[in-house]
């Protein structure tokens, strides 16, 4: 197989697990990360088709500079995984206690950062390309039950909208765009609760499910855009 794959948030958590799945498959991988980790560097030791690039998706010039090499080398990007994300634990509170200005980092990364990456890669999306935007059930308005985490939920709902607009734009070229809730992950973002809970999922298991969905995208009905990593559809 000769496929080009781009992953943001590749240094740890779910992003690192997705990188590892595509290393196993022998794909050319462009791994973007704001702080490059030893774990990510370790993946390159025996694998020369992994290109690691520092990229802060909250910066437009930063994204443009980071993807230039990939855009020059690749005719088509087959899989784009937008996984980078920020969650502020301080914002697990009601509106009166929410620091809106501090929370803007989540809009900047989770929503607008994802859009920056999509914009950078759009010239290379073609027939069979799949964009996987890892948003969250927190971005589902239909399923919303929380009374807290305003800015995170808003950022993920905005990312869902960006994804649907992009899907409408690139559908005619045969590109699919999906939003995926990865489950409650045993990662830094998942927090201590996830590590102890039987309802959480390891990043490796979630990544395996997400990569399978992307590789078998033709099995997902064309009118399904927002799903859990298990494949269960979610309401917008
Ligand atoms: N964890 C959960 O339970 C859960 C649930 C639903 C949805 N999600 C979503 O799933 C995705 C992955 O979550 P995770 O648990 O794997 O998170 P994580 O372990 O906290 O990793 C987040 C990654 O995003 C990177 N990142 C943060 N700001 C960035 C920026 N400005 N530019 C580029 N990269 C940036 C981080 O880099 P640094 O390490 O350098 O900061 C890190 O590699 C996120 O989008 C998250 O919102 C997670």
Decide: 109 in ligand 1 pocket, CB within 6 A.
yes
Give mean pLDDT, residues 139-160: 98
Is residue 145 included in any domain, yes or no?
A: yes
Is residue 143 included in any domain, yes or no?
A: yes
Q: Tell me the pLDDT tens digit for each residue of 42-84.
A: 998 889 999 999 999 999 999 999 999 999 999 999 999 999 9
pTM for the full predicted model: 0.98
Contact 110, 156 (CB under 8 A): yes
Is residue 236 included in any domain, yes or no?
A: no
Place of tokens 């999509």: 118
Is residue 170 included in any domain, yes or no?
A: yes
Q: What is the mean pLDDT of the chain?
A: 97
Residue 134 lies in domain: 4-228
Contact 186, 203 (CB under 8 A): yes
Give mean pLDDT, residues 107-133: 98
Give mean pLDDT, residues 204-226: 98
What share of the chain has pLDDT > 70, as a percent? Answer: 100
The pLDDT-based confidence of 1 (bands split at 50, 70, 90) is low
CA distance 229 to 227: 6
Decide: 139 in ligand 1 pocket, CB within 6 A.
no
Decide: 13 in ligand 1 pocket, CB within 6 A.
yes
Q: Exposed, middle or buried: residue 105 (CB in 10 Å: 0-12, 13-18, 19+)?
A: middle
> The CATH number of the domain where 80 resides is what?
3.40.50.720
Give mean pLDDT, residues 215-225: 97
Taking the centre of ligand 1 as the mean of its atom positions, its distance from the CA of residue 131, in whole angstroms, is: 17
Q: How many CB atoms lie within 10 A of CB 181?
A: 23
Q: Comparing 93 with 46, which gets the higher pLDDT?
A: 93
User: How many structural domains does the chain have?
Assistant: 1
| Ligand 1, pocket-test mutation among 85, 106, 152, most atoms within 8 A of CB | 85
Is residue 152 included in any domain, yes or no?
A: yes
Question: So what's the pLDDT on residue 45?
Answer: 83
Taking the centre of ligand 1 as the mean of its atom positions, its distance from the CA of residue 225, in whole angstroms, is: 21
CA distance 48 to 44: 6
Is residue 233 included in any domain, yes or no?
A: no
Is residue 50 included in any domain, yes or no?
A: yes
Q: Tell me the pLDDT tens digit for each residue of 2-51.
A: 799 999 999 999 999 999 999 999 999 999 999 999 999 999 888 999 99
Give mean pLDDT, residues 130-137: 98
Residue with the smallest CA separation from ligand 1 atom 13 is: 14
Question: So what's the pLDDT on residue 65?
Answer: 98
Taking the centre of ligand 1 as the mean of its atom positions, its distance from the CA of residue 81, in whole angstroms, is: 12
Is residue 101 included in any domain, yes or no?
A: yes
The distance between the two most distant Cα atoms of the chain, rounded to a whole number of Å, is: 53
């Amino acid at each position: 197989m000769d496929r080009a794959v781009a992953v943001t948030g590749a240094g740890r958590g779910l992003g690192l697990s997705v990188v590892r799945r595509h290393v196993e498959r022998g794909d050319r991988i462009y791994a973007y990360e704001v702080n490059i980790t030893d774990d990510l560097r370790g993946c390159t030791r025996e694998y020369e088709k992994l290109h690691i690039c520092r990229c802060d998706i909250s910066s437009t010039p930063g994204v443009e500079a980071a993807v230039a090499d990939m855009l020059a080398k690749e005719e088509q990007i087959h899989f784009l995984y937008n996984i980078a994300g920020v969650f502020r634990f301080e914002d697990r509170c009601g509106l009166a206690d929410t620091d809106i200005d501090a929370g803007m980092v989540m809009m900047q990364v989770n929503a607008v950062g994802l859009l920056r990456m999509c914009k950078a890669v759009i010239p290379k999306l073609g027939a069979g390309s799949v964009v996987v935007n890892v948003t969250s059930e927190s971005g589902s308005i239909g399923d919303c039950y929380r009374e807290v985490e305003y800015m995170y939920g808003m950022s993920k709902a905005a990312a869902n909208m960006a994804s649907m607009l992009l899907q409408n734009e690139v559908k005619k070229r045969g590109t699919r765009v999906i939003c995926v809730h990865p489950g409650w992950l045993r990662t830094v973002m998942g927090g201590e609760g996830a590590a102890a809970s039987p309802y959480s999922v390891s990043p490796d298991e979630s990544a395996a499910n997400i990569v399978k969905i992307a590789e078998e995208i033709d099995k997902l009905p064309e009118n399904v855009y927002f799903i859990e990593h298990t494949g269960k559809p979610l309401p917008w």
